[in-house]
Chain A
């Protein structure tokens, strides 16, 4: 691998990690399609690298958020009982799916995420920068655990964090304030992604040559993004993310139709 390619992979990681930290997603949703579309990596390997990127994002942001008391550790660890089961099951299933099927599932996930971010951007257009967190009482653990099982499965199947599923459920059904829900979700995705990462690693789907520069970039982006987050209006980053997600979904669609991912 030459120096230019290493540099491009570092940049990919840094952008994914930065946007991930600012928007509150794992960054996997950017890493997987970029590696599959623009670096020609087989999608199973793209997902394997992406899982490591998710662990790195979670580690970097949780290291800060846990000590700031933004993460509800008890809740996070309880939900991990379900996310890990979903992740392991889906990681096994992914091994049996064709590239085409995985690419189509991923495309659907990109479109869904872009859609849910449009809703959030609309809600956030006039938002003030958030300060403290209100008091809250937890309710409806069964709903949280069910959503976590599903989020874990998404993670193991597509190499993403699954926060798009977990955060709204924690917020709307379990009564967790949005900021705490996002931080707690980010905390849990490290353990979740690690569980499926072991299975991908055992199968030989973690390409270290690609993972090393991408994860190094993720750390840079995540650290920078976490620092910047309190000073940035999230609506602009959201719009940037939505545009990128729609663009990559379209590109994936064209590649699937052309048979390039089968």
Chain B
């Protein structure tokens, strides 16, 4: 599978899972229980926030399969930057 297809499928999976859960959350909040709906909604938002990271991992997989060493290193570096920047940012704010 080409890296474009791996990335596309990953984004599609993350997007649709999150969207499906968001719709479910709204329906549950309106018909069953607001608290339960909010919990489902929070899970949906966390999946949404994780999707970009999964996308980088998908690209990394594609680059490794292509034996594109330079871009694979950029993908790893990107993950390191995000990890360091967010943990540093959280401790600062």
**Residues of B with C-beta under 8 A to A66:** 4, 7-8, 11
Whether the Cβ atoms of B75 and A55 lie closer than 8 Å is no
**Residues of A with C-beta under 8 A to B29:** 1, 6, 212
Binds B, one of A22-30, A198-206, A253-261: A198-206
Within 8 A of B (CB), among A196-219: 196-199, 201-203, 206, 208-209, 211-213, 215-216, 219
Whether the Cβ atoms of B82 and A212 lie closer than 8 Å is no
Q: Which of B37, B49, B55 contacts A201 (CB 8 A)?
A: B49
In the bound assembly, the distance between CA atoms of A167 and B26 in angstroms comes to: 35
Chain B at the A interface: mostly helix, strand, loop or mixed?
helix
Tell me, yes or no, whether A228 is within 8 Å of chain B by CB.
no
Q: Which of B3, B38, B55, B71 contacts A212 (CB 8 A)?
A: B38
A150 to chain B, nearest CB (A): 16
Whether the Cβ atoms of A81 and B77 lie closer than 8 Å is yes
In the bound assembly, the distance between CA atoms of A81 and B53 in angstroms comes to: 13
Whether the Cβ atoms of A77 and B85 lie closer than 8 Å is no
**Residues of B with C-beta under 8 A to A59:** 11, 14-15, 18, 48, 51-52
A45 to chain B, nearest CB (A): 14
Within 8 A of B (CB), among A59-97: 59-60, 62-64, 66-67, 69, 71, 73-74, 77-78, 80-81, 84-85, 87-89, 91-92, 95-96
Interface residue tally on A, bucketed by range:
35 or more
Chain A at the B interface: mostly helix, strand, loop or mixed?
helix
Tell me, yes or no, whether A19 is within 8 Å of chain B by CB.
no
Whether the Cβ atoms of A212 and B78 lie closer than 8 Å is no
With A3-B30, A81-B77 known to touch, is A208 a contact of B71 (CB < 8 Å)?
Answer: no
Tell me, yes or no, whether A144 is within 8 Å of chain B by CB.
no
In the bound assembly, the distance between CA atoms of A3 and B11 in angstroms comes to: 30
**Residues of B with C-beta under 8 A to A55:** 48-49, 51-52
Whether the Cβ atoms of A212 and B44 lie closer than 8 Å is yes
With A6-B29, A195-B86 known to touch, is A73 a contact of B3 (CB < 8 Å)?
Answer: yes
**Residues of A with C-beta under 8 A to B92:** 92
With A63-B8, A88-B86 known to touch, is A77 a contact of B59 (CB < 8 Å)?
Answer: yes
Q: Which of B44, B52, B81 contacts A85 (CB 8 A)?
A: B81
Q: Which residues of A contact B (CB under 8 A)?
A: 1, 3, 6, 10, 52, 55-56, 58-60, 62-64, 66-67, 69, 71, 73-74, 77-78, 80-81, 84-85, 87-89, 91-92, 95-96, 190-191, 193-199, 201-203, 206, 208-209, 211-213, 215-216, 219
Interface contacts beyond A55-B52, A215-B48: sample of 19 additional A-B pairs, CB < 8 Å, sorted by A? A52-B45, A52-B49, A55-B48, A56-B15, A62-B55, A77-B59, A77-B71, A191-B52, A194-B52, A197-B49, A198-B49, A201-B49, A202-B89, A202-B93, A209-B41, A211-B41, A212-B22, A213-B22, A215-B22
- Sample (12) of A-B pairs whose CB atoms are under 8 Å apart: A55-B49, A62-B11, A64-B8, A73-B7, A77-B75, A85-B85, A88-B89, A190-B51, A195-B82, A195-B86, A199-B90, A212-B44
